[in-house]
Amino acid sequence: MSANLVPLEAFLDLPDHARLLGLDLGTKTIGLALSDVERQIATPLETIKRVKFGLDAAALLKITQKHAVAGLVIGLPLNMDGSEGPRVQSTRAFIRNLAPLTALPIAFWDERLSTMAVTRTLLDADASRAKRAAVVDKMAAAYILQGALDRLMRMPAADPES
């Protein structure tokens, strides 16, 4: 396992005002969301059309530099019963290949129901099918990242004395 694969709690030790980038890895696209510098709010950023790993990784790493990202939160598409299927294996393989290319800490976040929740929100907002298709991946990334940010805010801060 790569040294930069960390539990979410490790993000509590990141420098102040450092952003996190959330990723929703799909087979055809990668949805991206960016946190604010206070790490409280996730905002949909963009969607990368997947081509091949080298190009996808280069585009992703360029975005991390452009936005001064200090850590990555990757949606882990577990099955509803918590088991790991082919999509989890694909996500882990992508991260296994990405991790050596960056020093950024990487944490997984359970993304069950994220796309369904976002799609329901878009349907409730009466978004057209084309509009939903254009934004669902980056909105799912924001949903994933917001879940991780909310969890981080509920974690006790590390004791500076320890």
Q: What confidence tens digit (pLDDT) does each residue in 140-159 have?
A: 899 899 999 999 999 876 55
Domain range summary for the chain, segments of one domain joined by +: 8-154
The confidence score (pLDDT) of residue 9 equals 94
The confidence score (pLDDT) of residue 81 equals 85
Amino acid symbol at 103: A
The model's pTM is 0.86
> Which of 113 and 37 is assigned the larger pLDDT?
37
Q: Is 63 exposed, middle or buried (CB count within 10 Å of its CB: 0-12, 13-18, 19+)?
A: middle
- Write down the mean pLDDT value for the chain: 87
pLDDT at 24 > cutoff 60: yes
| Assigned superfamily of 8-154 | YqgF/RNase H-like domain (3.30.420.140)
Amino acid symbol at 64: T
**Mapping DSSP to helix (H, G, I), strand (E, B) and coil, where does residue 115 land?**
helix
The confidence score (pLDDT) of residue 78 equals 84
Q: What confidence tens digit (pLDDT) does each residue in 55-71 have?
A: 999 999 999 999 999 99
The confidence score (pLDDT) of residue 84 equals 87
23: enclosing H helix or E strand: strand 19-25
pLDDT at 162 > cutoff 50: no
